[in-house]
Amino acid sequence: MRFALDTDAVYYSGSFQHGLTGIRPKVRPVVRGVRLFFEYFLTSEVSDRMKLDDIDRRILSELQVDASLALETLGERIGLSRNACWRRVKMLESSGIITRRVAILDADAIGRPLTVFIQIRSGRRDQEWVNSLHQKIDTIPEVTGLFRMTGDQDYLMRAQVESLVDYDRLRKELIARLDLSDISANFVMERIKDTTALPV
């Protein structure tokens, strides 16, 4: 997050519209110091973040489509040598931009064709309950995503199940293991777009 600071607002001046011009010479270094302080510390998160160039973005675009690409193939597509490409990928991994590489499975092929979005409202909101929720959800493999939401519902879950009967079993498990005041579900009829690729 970058904080945008109106530096004119921290100047001691007869006229705030003229920045440093209305400040006595001895005061100007102090004002500049204040400005540098805010620029350095309030933007440290941005400065610490890796800055992506066009080559990095092209590498990320390729790997988001196929993370199993050989370095030689990736380098040919990007226009880099194998070693240069390897260094770029390692830098993207060490900076945390590439978090992991996984195999994406076909849900139909493994017998879990039904995607369901589950809205839940909690009966409690204390930290103990929140910690318990996080721990218990991690032990339910059918739940592939959990998101805390704004609006009427507290959380949105995404789950992959075998059938309506299998969802009913999951629903009963959630009710038994979690202190919920309300639970509802919407089932996916057709996947129009379903991608893990982020715009870079």
Within a domain: residue 99? Answer: no
Where in the sequence is the domain holding 134, given as residue range(s)?
114-187
Within a domain: residue 109? Answer: no
Residues 86-108 pLDDT 10s: 999 999 999 999 999 999 999 99
Pair (60, 41) in one structural domain: no
Q: Hey, what are 6's tokens?
A: 């109106």
CA 120 to chain centre: 22
Distance CA 116, CA 157 (A): 8
Distance CA 166, CA 179 (A): 21
Within a domain: residue 169? Answer: yes
Greater pLDDT, 28 or 81: 81
Pair (37, 59) in one structural domain: no
- CATH number of the domain that 90 lies in? 1.10.10.10
The radius of gyration computed from the CA coordinates of the chain, to the nearest angstrom, equals 26
- CATH number of the domain that 162 lies in? 3.30.70.920
Asked if pLDDT for residue 146 goes beyond 80, the answer is yes
pLDDT of residue 24: 55
Q: Give CA separation, 107 vs 114, 165, 187, in Å.
A: 8, 17, 15
CA nearest neighbour of 153 among 188, 127, 117: 117
Pair (29, 87) in one structural domain: no
Q: In what order do the strands lie in the sheet with 143-148?
A: 143-148, 155-161, 114-122, 180-187
Distance CA 39, CA 33 (A): 10
Residues 73, 66 contacting (CB under 8 angstroms): no
What single-letter amino acid sits at 21? T
How many other CB atoms are there within 10 angstroms of residue 60's CB atom?
20
What single-letter amino acid sits at 136? K
Residues 55-65 pLDDT 10s: 999 999 999 99
Residues 173-198 pLDDT 10s: 999 999 898 999 999 999 999 999 99
Within a domain: residue 59? Answer: yes
**Domains: count for the chain:** 3
Distance CA 11, CA 151 (A): 42
Within a domain: residue 101? Answer: no
Q: Hey, what are 67's tokens?
A: 């993370």
Q: pLDDT band at 119, cuts 50/70/90?
A: very high
Pair (73, 43) in one structural domain: no
